[in-house]
Amino acid sequence: MAAEKSKIIYTLTDEAPLLATCAFLPIIRTFTAPAGVEVVKSDISVAARILAEFSDCLTAEQKVPDNLAALGKMTLLPDTNIIKLPNISASVPQLLAAIKELQLKGYKIPNFPDDPKSEEEKVTRARYSKCLGSAVNPVLREGNSDRRAPNAVKQFARKHPHSMGEWSQASRTHVSHMHGGDFYAGEKSMTMTKACDVKMDLVTKSGKTILLKPKVSLIAGEIIDSMFMSKKALCEFYEKEIEDAYKTGMMWSLHVKATMMKISHPIVFGHAVKIFYKDAFAKHAKLFEELGVNVNNGMSSLYEKIKTLPESKREEIIQDVHACHEHRPALAMVDSAKGITNLHSPSDVIVDASMPAMIRAGGKMWGADGRLHDTKAVIPESTFARIYQEMINFCKTHGNFDPTTMGTVPNVGLMAQQAEEYGSHDKTFEIPEAGIARIVADDGIVLLEQHVEEGDIWRMCQLKDAPIRDWVKLAVNRARLSNTPAVFWLDEYRPHEAELIKKVNTYLKEHDLKGVDIQIMSQTRAMRYTLERVIRGKDTISVTGNILRDYLTDLFPIMELGTSAKMLSIVPLMAGGGLFETGAGGSAPKHVQQLVEENHLRWDSLGEFLALAVSLEDMSDKTGNPKVKILARTLDEATGKLLLNNKSPSPRTGELDNRGSQFYLAMYWADALATQTEDKELQAYFTPLAKTLQANEQKIVDEFKAVQGKPADIGGYFVMDTEKCKAVMRPSATFNAALKAARA
Ligand SMILES: NC(=O)C1=CN([C@@H]2O[C@H](COP(=O)(O)OP(=O)(O)OC[C@H]3O[C@@H](n4cnc5c(N)ncnc54)[C@H](OP(=O)(O)O)[C@@H]3O)[C@@H](O)[C@H]2O)C=CC1
Ligand SMILES: O=C(O)CCC(=O)C(=O)O
Ligand SMILES: [Mg+2]
């Protein structure tokens, strides 16, 4: 497939961003048409991906193309321009819900085999696995990541600071992580001197050799790691931390990234569930096994599976579960009103968003009593847990951050070509029996090996050389362009990072470093250094690996801006194209709930506005189309004005929401285009629209308000009904008519 120079691909995803798109696409098309820019949709929602995978089960009318695969290919072409909205990286409970909805809508796709036994079930399971977890982002992210708060956004936050919870020195909130037996402790790393194929196998203590992965092709210069997490150490750690919280009267919370680390973290999550509720699990072990309860999917799996039992048995189990709470610490809640705990579903508490929200709230999470409490935040993997503890220490000493004065922390993240843990899913295994886990080259030489026990999680990660070189270049460029110090957050004591540091030092030599401040520091030192600057109003670029890219681009924006939705998130594709992500957060399931119940969508589309502007700018640079350049510039002006006039959506029903905010963007954008004089054609096209929108501002805002406060029908969750969504998301007849008239 060839990319076309004046085409923007706009992804249709899930939940709140999909709803926002329903309203935004007609606006975008109205504005880009006179510049000859085509905006095409590409549905990569979790439902569309399931249907593409199970095409053979569908009728001709139901079949959909594999859009994700097509987009993946396009990222390797130089003219590609994709705007990517956040999508669901489905946990098993989310996938099950999507399958159920599709089946109810008449799609004859198979059930999800949670515990596949037959060959057929194993094949179905493997096909569904392609739709699980981070299945979209790694395919599209064929470049490194540049995430930052644009100046206008930062200035807005300084003028209109969001609320911050108070930090007290007496806060008992802390992070608990493993001190041995985790991936950090059990890591070995090496750089390949030449290309070769390797296999991953397990030589068991009983003398068998189990082939786990027949072939991974490696190229010269690539860094590979072998690392494992000990089940025994993990379970002992959980037991100790649960006991400690109980004895000291602390609330307990678990923070993992089961969606992105889709093989390892559900297992890590599952052990926590089993240990927390160990008495109930011990008592009903046999029954749970028969029912196919899978703790990796959280307590939701247990509640789902026991539905089929007779009432009395079900009651007994629920009582036994509740009885566990008597000698366990209080659990942090996701929804205290509905009794949904932190251990309910692995996608309810996602570390990159959950830890910053807790720190922003002054180190507190919700308890079952509907009040905020200090918490023991359990993050088993020490590599990254420590950065949060460092920030917590800092807040305890210095108090909460002040958004009106604090500096900004942009990120340059290593991400391309499925870098590091991101690409490890197909090379992660739960070890079936004790032995030696090995990475063996095709000439029979064992490259890396580790002693593992039954139940350990063993994985191999890869990091190719070209992305590292590109990442170093991006970091130096950003440091120079923004005149900001850049710190590589790398720990020389971690074997993988020791290899990486060598390469960073090599590639830094390719650049003129005069006048730029580049340093390398371990994660905890880098955090401390950055925070000392942050509270003095100074900016510092964090240059990190893939996991910290994810964590820090929620952490700092949430402190600085109140949300990571307001981030500019650019992926300069290594092949020359551009992937423009909208914000740094997710698809906000809570927002859909509010829309359905009260017809108010509090989703902020600022991320979309920012992404569209850089997408247009990139297109104008590449095509030289002056109209597109004007569109980009005026959109930036409009976004600035939107912030200045405080026309972002409010979280409260009855006030301006996503739809109203989009209207204001359109009004300001049309005005900026009508006022500019460089391009008379654009001016003529937009003048009537600008006038109509201004003349009808109050009427349109009132039309948006009038629908609020009542339930809204969007015809589904994973597969929304297009017509119903249009009706809900475009309720202003006056605004719709104005857009239509402009296009006519
Ligand atoms: N790039 C991607 O594709 C990503 C996808 N995800 C996926 O998103 C889903 C939800 O993940 P979760 O960890 O809950 O994170 P989210 O970022 O979706 O939500 C956390 C909170 O952030 C706030 N928020 C996020 N985006 C916006 C926005 N545009 N406007 C206003 N507020 C916003 C909301 O706060 P409030 O409720 O206070 O309004 C929301 O509840 C999961 O399925 C996950 O896999 C997650 C991260 C990135
Ligand atoms: O790919 C995912 O599942 C999540 C990605 C994410 O959280 C991020 O890139 O910030
Ligand atoms: Mg993230």
Give the nearest ligand 2 atom to 89 CA.
3
Question: 135 C-alpha vs ligand 3 centroid, how far in Å?
Answer: 14
Contact criterion met (CB below 8 Å) for 668 and 703: no
Q: With left for phi above 0 and alpha for psi between -120 and 50, is residue 414 left, alpha or beta?
A: beta
Confirm or reject: Cβ of 87 under 6 Å from ligand 1.
Answer: yes
Give me 314's structure tokens: 């079900």
Q: Whose CA is nearest to atom 4 of ligand 2?
A: 260
Q: Which long-range contacts (CB under 8 A, 24 or more apart) does 645-648 make?
A: 646/160, 648/604, 648/606
Which of 322, 174, 335 is CA-nearest to residue 255?
A: 174
Which of 18, 13, 20, 37 is CA-nearest to residue 682?
A: 37
pLDDT digits (tens, 9 = 90+) for 650-696: 999 999 999 999 999 999 999 999 999 999 999 999 999 999 999 99
SS (H, E, C) 500-523: HHHHHHHHHCCCCCCCCCEEEECH
Query: Is 555 known to sit in a ligand binding site?
Result: no
Q: Tell me which residue has tokens 């340059």.
A: 412
| Candidate from 13, 132, 134, 257 with most ligand 2 atoms within 8 A of CB, to mutate | 134
Give me 606's structure tokens: 């600022």
Query: Is 328 known to sit in a ligand binding site?
Result: no
Low-confidence ranges of the chain (pLDDT < 50): 1
Confirm or reject: Cβ of 87 under 6 Å from ligand 2.
Answer: no
Q: For residue 39, what are the β-bridge partners?
A: 8
Question: 732 C-alpha vs ligand 2 centroid, how far in Å?
Answer: 34
Amino acid at 657: D
In degrees and rounded to multiples of 5, residue 307 shows phi and psi of -55, -30
Question: 692 C-alpha vs ligand 3 centroid, how far in Å?
Answer: 40
pLDDT digits (tens, 9 = 90+) for 266-275: 999 999 999 9
Confirm or reject: Cβ of 260 under 6 Å from ligand 1.
Answer: no
Query: Is 554 known to sit in a ligand binding site?
Result: yes
Query: Is 135 known to sit in a ligand binding site?
Result: yes
Contact criterion met (CB below 8 Å) for 606 and 565: yes
Which of 162, 185, 3 is CA-nearest to residue 82?
A: 3
> In a 10 Å sphere around its CB, with 0-12 CB exposed, 13-18 middle and 19+ buried, how is residue 514 labelled?
exposed
How far, in Å, are 22, 94, 283, 718 from residue 45 at the CA level?
A: 14, 12, 41, 8
Cα(140)–Cα(51) distance, rounded to whole angstroms? 19
Give me 242's structure tokens: 């649960």
Angle CA 269–273–277, to nearest 5: 170
Q: Whose CA is nearest to atom 6 of ligand 1?
A: 586
What is the model's pLDDT at position 3? 56
Give me 35's structure tokens: 């510049």
Cα(152)–Cα(161) distance, rounded to whole angstroms? 14
In degrees and rounded to multiples of 5, residue 687 shows phi and psi of -60, -50
Confirm or reject: Cβ of 347 under 6 Å from ligand 2.
Answer: no
| Candidate from 12, 89, 137 with most ligand 1 atoms within 8 A of CB, to mutate | 89
Question: 351 C-alpha vs ligand 2 centroid, how far in Å?
Answer: 11
**DSSP tag of 400:** S
Confirm or reject: Cβ of 587 under 6 Å from ligand 1.
Answer: yes
Buried b / exposed e over 607-629, threshold 16 CB at 10 Å, is: bbbbbbbbbbbbbbebbebebbb
SS3 723: helix
| Candidate from 68, 137, 547, 564 with most ligand 2 atoms within 8 A of CB, to mutate | 137
Confirm or reject: Cβ of 418 under 6 Å from ligand 2.
Answer: no
In terms of DSSP bridges, do strands 187-191 and 223-229 run parallel, antiparallel, or are they unpaired?
antiparallel
Cα(646)–Cα(548) distance, rounded to whole angstroms? 32
Measured in whole angstroms, how far is the alpha carbon of residue 175 from the centre of its chain? Answer: 21
Measured in whole angstroms, how far is the alpha carbon of residue 35 from the centre of its chain? Answer: 33
Give me 190's structure tokens: 């090496």
Biggest CA pair distance of the chain: 81
Query: Is 352 known to sit in a ligand binding site?
Result: yes
Cα(643)–Cα(172) distance, rounded to whole angstroms? 37
Amino acid at 177: H
SS3 content of the chain, % helix, strand, coil (to 5): 50, 15, 35
Query: Is 679 known to sit in a ligand binding site?
Result: no
Query: Is 141 known to sit in a ligand binding site?
Result: yes
Question: 21 C-alpha vs ligand 2 centroid, how far in Å?
Answer: 19
Cα(435)–Cα(455) distance, rounded to whole angstroms? 11
Q: Whose CA is nearest to atom 7 of ligand 2?
A: 550
**DSSP tag of 12:** E
Q: Tell me which residue has tokens 């359905």.
A: 596
How far, in Å, are 462, 605, 617 from residue 581 at the CA level?
A: 24, 12, 14
> In a 10 Å sphere around its CB, with 0-12 CB exposed, 13-18 middle and 19+ buried, how is residue 283 labelled?
middle
Cα(121)–Cα(23) distance, rounded to whole angstroms? 41
Ligand nearest to the CA of 586: 1
Angle CA 185–191–197, to nearest 5: 105
Cα(460)–Cα(476) distance, rounded to whole angstroms? 29
Which of 397, 379, 420 is CA-nearest to residue 555?
A: 379
Q: Whose CA is nearest to atom 1 of ligand 2?
A: 134
Question: 137 C-alpha vs ligand 2 centroid, how far in Å?
Answer: 7
Give the nearest ligand 1 atom to 554 CA.
17
Query: Residue 191: which H helix or E strand, with range?
Result: strand 187-191
Confirm or reject: Cβ of 692 under 6 Å from ligand 2.
Answer: no
Which of 739, 666, 651, 659 is CA-nearest to residue 705?
A: 659
Question: 352 C-alpha vs ligand 3 centroid, how far in Å?
Answer: 5
Q: With left for phi above 0 and alpha for psi between -120 and 50, is residue 213 left, alpha or beta?
A: beta
Q: Whose CA is nearest to atom 6 of ligand 2?
A: 550
SS3 650: coil
Ligand nearest to the CA of 585: 1
> In a 10 Å sphere around its CB, with 0-12 CB exposed, 13-18 middle and 19+ buried, how is residue 312 labelled?
exposed
Q: For residue 133, what are the β-bridge partners?
A: 90
Measured in whole angstroms, how far is the alpha carbon of residue 645 from the centre of its chain? Answer: 30
For the CA atoms of 79, 85, 90, 91, what is the dihedral angle to 10 degrees? 120
Q: With left for phi above 0 and alpha for psi between -120 and 50, is residue 385 left, alpha or beta?
A: alpha
Amino acid at 518: I
Question: 161 C-alpha vs ligand 2 centroid, how far in Å?
Answer: 26
Give the nearest ligand 2 atom to 581 CA.
9
Q: For residue 84, what are the β-bridge partners?
A: 581
Q: DSSP per residue over 428-460, as a string?
A: EEE-SSSEEEEEEETTS-EEEEEEE-TT-EEEE
Cα(39)–Cα(19) distance, rounded to whole angstroms? 17
Question: 420 C-alpha vs ligand 1 centroid, how far in Å?
Answer: 23
Question: 87 C-alpha vs ligand 1 centroid, how far in Å?
Answer: 9
Amino acid at 473: K
Measured in whole angstroms, how far is the alpha carbon of residue 311 from the centre of its chain? Answer: 39
E strands, 219-264, where?
Answer: 223-229, 251-254
Angle CA 191–183–181, to nearest 5: 130
Contact criterion met (CB below 8 Å) for 590 and 389: no
Contact criterion met (CB below 8 Å) for 549 and 584: no
Q: Is the pTM of this model over 0.80?
A: yes
